[in-house]
């Protein structure tokens, strides 16, 4: 590996100013599982690596009782998210996704912020978060700003992060009562696999337990960035959720997906999968709502 | 850049001078001569380089040596007791045919040991989930899973040794 100097700032301000003073020659590193591979493969050649691992920010997840929002530090490892009882119980879509990212070894070091900032079209971490209307908190020389996560991604490897900016936190707003959510990563190997397709869905039902009052459908590897299937969402909202309407929503989502051929799969197959998996995730959301109601 | 780091390696306080760009795998194998940890792919795909850092399984090939400063590292060499008696997980692999060519074994055993620290009575699915990041190209997975299940059972009736090892 090409030599570099490793810098360990202890505040966000220090990190940002180190980046500025080494402009063009520095890269941020958190868990390192993506950055170190890029350096090994000589895709990037930074002279300085600025570690974000030593900044004493609130690591982990925190539920704000007043706003009922979930705060996830960007420096939280996937393993911490996977093992969080709060996430498993109340945010099953996120649990579904993080437990199959990389491997145990990768999840013990890789951070959710790194997964998002890396912005690969297949980022499993991104889909559940855009499906839950998450907001990204970003820190830089001009202070803090927030961006809806759905607008965070600009293209493969490209985000709205400007030079030196750091993704610090992801905030998930509260969902209505009677909400279920689910994510499926469709791939071939259990670990270290980038999905052929990722589908996340969030569904809220009316008190009648059949009418859809809110729905979000997030798709990964269905376009150059994570996307939402807006047409399918518009179709389903206000309708009765049945196997037939879920199948139709799946068809609409398949039509609006911008899938393409790649080494992992061909476009027509991905399009078929969108239809099938949206229907399946809708059914799983509905089941999770029913199960939770029967418990409480 | 050179810098001095101090960490606990297999129970011994260790001070070494490292370079910033060294991986933990490089430090262990090339500088400290601990050749039990293997390098397979070098990119986190195969798990042959799995070690424990503060009781968590990590890929030593994607972990910077500088980041183990003040931490506790356990490699395959650190599992057996001082008198050479194998750790229950190692014994189980030996006794149940969990080893074929042996190249994946150190990584598999470290992943299994990390799992058992977290969950003493894993189901088959838990075991598969825990070793999903370890590739065995002899494809002896059935015996490996079997070995880990039996190691878990051995440890239940043998908690004294395991507890003593955890507290060292």
Which residues in chain A come in under a pLDDT of 50? none
Q: Which domain range does residue B63 map to?
A: 2-78
Smallest CA-to-CA distance from A159 within A128, A138, A190, A189 is with A138
The whole-angstrom separation of Cα A80 and Cα A60 is 7
| Architecture label for domain A5-51 | 2-Layer Sandwich (3.30)
| End residue of a domain, out of B78, B107, B125 | B78
Write down the pLDDT at residue A281.
97
| Architecture label for domain A61-172 | 2-Layer Sandwich (3.30)
Do B67 and B130 share a domain, yes or no? no
In sequence order, which ranges of B10-140 are alpha helices (DSSP H)?
24-26, 88-95, 105-118, 124-130
Write down the pLDDT at residue A27.
97
Residue B124 with chain A: CB contacts under 8 Å: none
pLDDT over threshold 90, residue B1: no
Write down the pLDDT at residue A193.
75
The secondary structure of A169-226 as a DSSP string is EEEEPPPPSSEEEEEEEE-SSSSS---SEEEEEEEEE-TTSSBEEEEEEEEESSSSS-
**What's the pLDDT tens digit per position in B56-67?**
999 999 999 999
Class of domain A179-295: alpha beta
**What's the pLDDT tens digit per position in A118-175?**
998 778 899 999 999 999 999 998 899 999 999 999 999 999 999 999 999 999 999 9
Write down the pLDDT at residue B157.
52
Size of chain A, expressed as the number of residues it contains? 296
- Closest-CA distance, B108 to chain A, in angstroms, reads 11
| End residue of a domain, out of B30, B58, B78 | B78
Beta strands in chain B (DSSP E): 2-9, 12-19, 50-53, 56-59, 72-74
| End residue of a domain, out of B78, B106, B123 | B78
Write down the pLDDT at residue A189.
72
* Residue A4 to residue B21, Cβ atoms within 8 A: yes
> For B102-125, what is the mean pLDDT?
96
Residues 66-95 of chain B with CB under 8 A from chain A are 66-67
Write down the pLDDT at residue A295.
59
Write down the pLDDT at residue A262.
85
Write down the pLDDT at residue A148.
98
Radius of gyration of chain B (CA): 15
Do B72 and B8 share a domain, yes or no? yes
CB A259 within 8 A of CB A229: no
Structural domain includes residue B83: no
Do B136 and B116 share a domain, yes or no? yes
B41 to chain A: closest CA residue: A37
For chain A, domain boundaries: 5-51, 61-172, 179-295
Number of domains comprising chain B: 2
Structural domain includes residue B27: yes
Write the ipTM.
0.91
Task: Look up the CATH number of the domain holding residue B121.
Answer: 1.10.150.120
Are the folds of A5-51 and A61-172 the same?
A: no
Do B6 and B56 share a domain, yes or no? yes
Write down the pLDDT at residue A99.
94
Residue B40 with chain A: CB contacts under 8 Å: none
* Residue A105 to residue B133, Cβ atoms within 8 A: yes
Do B73 and B94 share a domain, yes or no? no
> For B13-33, what is the mean pLDDT?
98
């Amino acid at each position: 590996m090409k030599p570099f100097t490793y810098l360990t700032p202890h505040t966000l301000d220090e990190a940002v100013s180190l980046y500025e003073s080494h402009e063009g020659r520095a890269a941020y590193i958190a868990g390192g599982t993506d950055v170190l591979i890029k350096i090994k493969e000589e895709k990037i050649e930074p002279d300085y690596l600025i570690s974000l691992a030593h900044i004493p920010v609130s690591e982990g997840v925190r539920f704000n009782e007043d706003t009922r929002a979930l705060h996830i530090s960007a420096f939280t490892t996937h393993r911490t998210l996977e093992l969080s009882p709060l996430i498993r119980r109340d945010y099953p879509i996120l649990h579904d996704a993080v437990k199959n990212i990389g491997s145990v070894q990768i999840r013990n070091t890789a951070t959710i912020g790194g997964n998002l900032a890396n912005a690969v079209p297949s980022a499993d971490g991104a889909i559940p978060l855009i499906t839950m209307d998450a907001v990204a908190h970003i820190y830089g020389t001009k202070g803090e700003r927030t961006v809806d996560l759905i607008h965070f991604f600009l293209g493969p490897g490209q985000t709205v992060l400007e030079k030196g900016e750091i993704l610090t936190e992801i905030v998930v707003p509260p969902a209505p009562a009677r909400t279920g959510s689910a994510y499926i990563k469709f791939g071939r190997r259990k670990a270290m696999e980038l999905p052929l397709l990722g589908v996340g869905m969030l569904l809220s039902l009316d008190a009648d337990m059949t009418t859809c009052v809110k729905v979000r459908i997030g798709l990964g590897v269905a376009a150059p960035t994570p996307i939402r299937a807006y047409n399918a969402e518009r179709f389903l909202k206000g309708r009765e959720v049945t196997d037939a309407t879920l199948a139709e929503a799946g068809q609409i989502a398949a039509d609006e997906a911008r899938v393409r051929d790649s080494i992992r799969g061909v476009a027509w197959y991905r399009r078929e999968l969108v239809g099938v998996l949206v229907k399946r995730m809708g059914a799983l959301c509905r089941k999770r709502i029913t199960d939770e109601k029967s418990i409480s | 850049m050179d810098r001095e780091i101090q960490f606990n390696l297999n129970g011994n306080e260790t001070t070494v001078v490292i370079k910033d760009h060294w991986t933990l795998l490089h430090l262990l194998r090339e500088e400290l001569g601990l050749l039990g940890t293997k390098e397979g792919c070098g990119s986190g795909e195969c798990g042959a380089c799995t070690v424990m850092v503060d009781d968590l399984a990590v890929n030593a090939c994607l972990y910077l040596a500088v980041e183990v400063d003040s931490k506790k590292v356990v490699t395959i060499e650190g599992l057996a007791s001082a008198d050479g008696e194998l750790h229950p997980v190692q014994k189980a692999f030996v006794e149940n045919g969990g080893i074929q060519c042996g190249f994946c074994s150190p990584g598999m055993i470290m992943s299994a040991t990390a799992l058992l620290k977290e969950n003493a009575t894993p189901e088959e699915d838990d075991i598969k989930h825990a070793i999903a990041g370890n590739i065995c190209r002899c494809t002896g997975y059935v015996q490996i899973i079997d070995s880990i299940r039996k190691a878990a059972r051995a440890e239940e009736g043998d908690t004294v040794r395991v507890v003593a090892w955890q507290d060292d």
